[in-house]
Amino acid sequence: MSKLALLGGEKAVTTEPHSVGHHRSPMWESGKAADWEEFSEAFAAKMQVEYALPVSSGQVALNSALVAAQAGPGDEVIVPSFTWIASVSCIMHNNAVPIFADVDPKTYTVDPEDVRRKITHRTKAIIAVDLYGHPAYLKELLAIAREHDIVLIEDSAQATGAYVDGEIVGGIADITCFSFAGKPIAATSGGVMTTNSREYYERGALGGQHPSTLSKILTNSDLLKYASTGGYGDNHRIDRYAMTVAYEALETFEEANDARIANCDLLAQELSKVKGITPPYVEPGVKHVYHMFSSLYNEEELGVPRETFVKAINAEGVTALTYVNSANFLFHPGGKPMPSGPIHHRAVFQEKNVYGHGCPFQCPHYTGEADYSIGSLPVTEKLVDQEFNFLQPHLSAPNGPDQMEQVLDAVTKVVDNIGDLEGYQID
């Protein structure tokens, strides 16, 4: 009888398994496929922050951040309504209640003074959104968070590489969340949660990482006991292919940002001379990375509805849409107009019954009353009827001054002939 390999004998199986090898991309053989720890360290270094937790999407990064902040049943999280739904749905995913604050009319980011007014003893966190690539008022919000012992979470999905007073976003707030799909660091999917707090890093990982990952990064014995279930059971793990694509983009995204900023600065300068159009405002000391180029349309001055103006711009060859309101759905093939408006106007919040039985809004643990009434956020409700956006395909390299001139020509052509659109009906 042959000797067991464990005791020094020959192995019974002498060939390597081949079930996957012949399907592998050359990328894996080249050694360029990203390693989780290596990517985490590289991302943290680029964002000048202690810890980076790669996850499967920007929304999952926000979910992880709220797990880190220990937001849950009975808690409130303050967030703008002028945003994408992921900034808000993550709150309900954690069974907390969104409390909407109004936004600043110039930057479209959450108004610190309205945040202060909305804080109660139930407030667990603030989510500040860097909308369209312009950072929120992070220093002011951080001071408010410190004053009330709550957590400041920054949704920087659209603002990777933005700066405030010379400091890159990622380590200014208590926790910052990034997204990759269609964003400055472009990949098929994925996101990252960053923080300078070891506690937030470890608690955020409990949102759902592989047990082997948790066993490496968890140092808190009270948290380590959850490692064998991958934390609290969700799958927040980033896809390795997406991580590899993001790793490559990490080396070049700032150069791409700078090219887009140069284009947008030129476009803003020229559009400021066009009747009825207000180009983006940039706060002093801020580096705006222009995920979108958002302007305001003055219907009173130009005399036709914004949706008509936006459709005319599209007909001239420039992709334009409104991000928060219904026109967002009018320019996609097969898309149907649908009730929209700011987030607090949507059916989910008007009905207050996400999970059935009124939860989380009528959860027995919740003692407050969330106000989602129409008219409760006057600045937000005005902006959604004014804003329109140009998208990155027109703004980013290899586009340059010549392409910006064409975008400007399209806008001025429509404005100069705006009277021809009076009475035009959108199908």
* Contact predicate 81/343, CB 8 Å: yes
List the helix and strand counts (H, then E) for the chain: 17, 14
Max Cα distance, the chain (Å): 96
Q: How far apart are CA 215 and CA 225, in angstroms?
A: 9
Closest alpha carbon to 112 in 102, 97, 120: 102
At residue 271, the 3 state secondary structure works out as helix
Task: Assign 3-class secondary structure to 54-69.
Answer: EECCHHHHHHHHHHHC
Q: How far apart are CA 170 and CA 58, in angstroms?
A: 14
Q: How far apart are CA 33 and CA 250, in angstroms?
A: 14
At residue 128, the 3 state secondary structure works out as strand
Amino acid at 88: V
Closest alpha carbon to 50 in 199, 257, 226, 216: 199
For 8-51, give the DSSP string.
T---S--S---TTGGG--HHHHHT-SPPHHHHHHHHHHHTT-SE
* Contact predicate 89/346, CB 8 Å: no
Q: Which residue among 46, 118, 183, 311 is the active-site one?
A: 183
Q: How far apart are CA 208 and CA 231, in angstroms?
A: 5
Alpha helix locations (H) across 52-131?
58-68, 86-93, 112-118
For residue 303, give the DSSP letter.
-
Does the active-site annotation cover 139? no
Residues 6+ apart with CB under 8 A from 394: 318, 319, 403, 407
Distances, alpha carbon 318 to alpha carbons 304, 313, 365, 400, 405, in Å: 19, 6, 50, 15, 12
Return the active site residues: 183
